Each structure stands twice: as C-alpha cells, then as structure tokens.
Structure 1
C-alpha cells in the first residue's frame, strides 16, 4: 500500500537547507520514494493550518518509509534539517 509523507516545512536558512536537500534527495531516490509536491503557497480551504511550505513524498509503503526514516544514512541529515528548518511530519498509507 502506498504511503505518503506530508511535511509542513519552515526554512530558517535557505542556503544551509540546500545542503540538506542535496543529501536527502539521493536517499529518497534510493529508498524508492519520490517527491510529489513542494508548494510555498498552499491553498488553505478550511481551518487554521498555514504551512510555510507544503511538501508531499510518496513511498511504496509505511514499512519502506520507516526504514528510510530510521536509516543510519538519514540520521545526520535529520540533524542538518533541524539546524536550518522546523518541520511537522505525518505519514499515511493508502488502503
């Protein structure tokens, strides 16, 4: 079942954050994931959620996503991401 990662991304330092993007993109590809959306101007239809940048990734399953998230390769990139941005991240799986 396909899993989707929804990220509410707020970048504090675009130049520093580019280092994270350069490192994480090949890891997402390696895990079979793909980037579906990056939108810095998401349309809020209802409610009070206003993501600075809305990001959606797709993975084969939650299990594949979890392996990527927990991988030793991704851990230092998480720290880099935290240095240059703040995020809220949720995942769901299509039944």
Structure 2
C-alpha cells in the first residue's frame, strides 16, 4: 500500500535548506521515493497556514518510507533541513 509524506516548512536559513535540497533527490530515489509536489507558494484554501513551503512525497509502502527516513544517507542530509526549518512532517497511508 503506498504511503504519502507531507512536509509543511517554515524556512529560517535558506542557504542551509538549499544545501539539503541539492542533496535530496538521489537519496529519495535510492529508496523508491518520488517527489510529487514542492510548492513555495501553495494556494491556501481554508484555515491559517504559517509556512513557506509544502512538499508531497510518495513511497511504495511504509517499509520503504521507514528505510529512507532511517537511512544514514538521509539522516546525514536531514541535519541541514532540521537546522534550517520548522514545521510538521506527516505520513499517511494511501489506498490500494
């Protein structure tokens, strides 16, 4: 069953966040992940939204997501994202 990861980020250090972005895609692809959307100006339809960016990822299943999130390659680059941003990252199960 596919899983989707949604990140809503407030970016405090753009240079450090860019370093994370520059290293991100090969690490994501190595674990079967796909970048479905990344928007610096999403259209807010309802409610408050105090973030700068939204990101939507997909993985074939939860095991692939957990392998990516726990991998040494991702943990290494994630240090830059964690230092440069705040905001929630959530995982949701898809259908089928």
Q: Answer whether TM exceeds 0.5 for this pair.
A: yes
Asked whether the equivalents of residues 41 and 53 of structure 2 are also in contact (C-alpha less than 8 Å), the reply is yes
How do residues 17-36 of structure 1 correspond to structure 2 at under 5 angstroms?
Answer: 17-36=17-36
* 1:89 and 2:86 correspond: no
* 2:51/2:87 contact within 8 Å kept: no
**Count of residues in correspondence between the two structures:** 95
The runs of at least 4 aligned residues of structure 1 exceeding 3 Å deviation read none
TM-score, with normalisation over the residues of structure 2? 0.87
TM-score by length of 1: 0.87
Structure 2 spans left out of the alignment, 5+ residues: none
Q: Does the 8 A contact of 1:62 with 1:92 survive in 2?
A: no
**2: CA distance, partners of 1:15 / 1:43:** 25
Q: Report Cα offsets for 1:26-54 as digits up to 9, x if no partner.
A: 10011111111111222222223343211
Cα distance in structure 2, aligned partners of 1:19 and 1:51 = 19
